[in-house]
Amino acid sequence: MRRWRLPVVLTAALLAVTGCGGGVADDPNTINVTYHRYGNSTYVDILMQRVKQQYEQAHPGKRVALDPVVAPEGEYLSKLQLRMRSPSTAPDVLYEDSFTINSDVAAGYLAPLDERLADWPDWDRFIDTTKQAGLATDGRTYGVPLDTDTRGIWFNRDLFTRAGLPADWKPRDWDAVLDAARQVEQRFPDVIGLDLPLGKAEGEAVSMQTVEMLLYGTETGTLHDGKWIAPNRGFTEALEFVSTAVEEGLTQSKAQIADAQYDKKLRDDLTRQGKVAMRLDGSFAAGQWEASGWQDWSSTMSAAPMPSRDGAGTVSMSGGWTLAMSASGTKQDDAFEFVKMALNRDNITEYALSSGNLPSREDSAADPRIAAANPLAGFWLGLLENTHYRPTLPEYPKVSEEIQQSVLDVVGGADPAEVSERWAEQVRRIVEPANTRGG
């Protein structure tokens, strides 16, 4: 049965967007809201258009100037930071990636929200784990989560059963994951046994969704615990896993890894065609499949938690986006009213239904429409109990770049131990040796 989704086509009236020019900064009754809009992902735009109407109807005489930035995600973040540098261009409300919170706080761009949140009863409705997304290292909250996600292993149930693997497969450890990939590959040589983000064009997904999903399941267990752990035995073990999978031909081919378009379309096409047995991926993949027209994906795809290296437990990583407020804004009362309206129960539920992301509120997660839209929503939400967030410190983006380069080196055939040693040297250079320890 086709699951209900929000319409993506907007009326002409809804598409009328008020730009950030025309003296918005000087108008005491108009707030500016900046967010990301790119490609086929129009869900944030739909949400902001809806909240603009709701806000203006609820507050006669008040106006919202929507300022969508049409650019790839990395460019959006760069353009947003440029705007935040000056009070004359800084938005009142901004769509902020959780992993940039600390760097923007360090730069003085974001306003703390704790006093306002303490007076907002709905704050108690947010899933406790998701609140970490907007929490900075100074102990204060600077962003309210719009959505969240978790990560695990998607697997093709039909391929598994035909290869002699159980339909309710739950791997105990890393060896069980590799063995399943080998078994599928032996039965179906043209199938990708284990798809991992590995290519240069995949950027942060390589760090978070591949290396950190592995690293956080090792005895070392983290990148940072008050100090950056470099050298890091768990990092070496993660690279060894990647090296084994690539060299045995269990992953996508090296040509596909190098293809900048692989993640944009081919990965999902191959999954739909039954050419991918497993994907180490996020809860959001189902939303992408539905957006592309694959409505009956649940008849084929199942999911399992990613196990730790030695079977001691399971691992997930979470991220998500928040709404934040500019520290230099002069209309913060109005800005927070917009944030509260955008993140009420109904709007977060509607956004989760349209985008395929997990809702950040408990009452939204309990809405029966969420389970009806995604039969595996309960599984992915359950992983929030044992999830991890990246060390969203100002130095993290540079550390992450070195993680991505390390994976490229290993994919190219370099020795994981040597690559890990070079990575540790780069981390010590980035963060200063006094801020590191071995582990």
* Residue 14 confidence (pLDDT) above 90: no
Distance CA 50, CA 29 (A): 19
Q: What is the overall mean pLDDT for the chain? A: 92
* Residue 130 confidence (pLDDT) above 70: yes
Weakest mean pLDDT among 17-26, 76-85, 173-182, 231-240: 17-26
Confidence of residue 5 (pLDDT cuts 50, 70, 90): very low
List Cβ neighbours of 118 (8 Å cut-off, separation of 6 or more): none
Confidence of residue 15 (pLDDT cuts 50, 70, 90): very low
* Residue 266 confidence (pLDDT) above 60: yes
pLDDT of residue 13: 34
Pairing of strands 321-325, 436-437: unpaired
pLDDT of residue 74: 78
Weakest mean pLDDT among 7-16, 142-151, 158-167, 398-407: 7-16
* Residue 9 confidence (pLDDT) above 80: no
Residue 253 and residue 261 in contact, taking contact as beta carbons nearer than 8 Å: no
Weakest mean pLDDT among 8-22, 29-43, 129-143, 271-285: 8-22
Looking from the CA of 189 toward its CB, the CA atoms found within 13 Å total 0
Confidence of residue 73 (pLDDT cuts 50, 70, 90): confident
Distance CA 196, CA 375 (A): 24
pLDDT of residue 3: 33
* Residue 17 confidence (pLDDT) above 90: no
pLDDT of residue 184: 98
pLDDT tens digits for 371-388? 998 999 999 999 998 899
Q: How far apart are the first and last CA of the chain?
A: 51
Distance CA 29, CA 32 (A): 10
pTM of the model: 0.87
Distance CA 343, CA 126 (A): 10
pLDDT of residue 124: 98
Confidence of residue 356 (pLDDT cuts 50, 70, 90): confident
Residue in 251, 291, 289 with CA at minimum distance from that of residue 273: 289
Average pLDDT of span 71-100 = 91
pLDDT tens digits for 322-351? 999 999 999 999 999 999 999 999 999 999
* Residue 240 confidence (pLDDT) above 70: yes
Confidence of residue 71 (pLDDT cuts 50, 70, 90): confident
pLDDT of residue 386: 87
CA 51, 56, 59: angle at the middle one, nearest 5? 120
pLDDT tens digits for 46-70? 999 999 999 999 999 999 999 999 9
Pairing of strands 228-229, 436-437: parallel
pLDDT of residue 153: 98
Average pLDDT of span 182-205 = 96
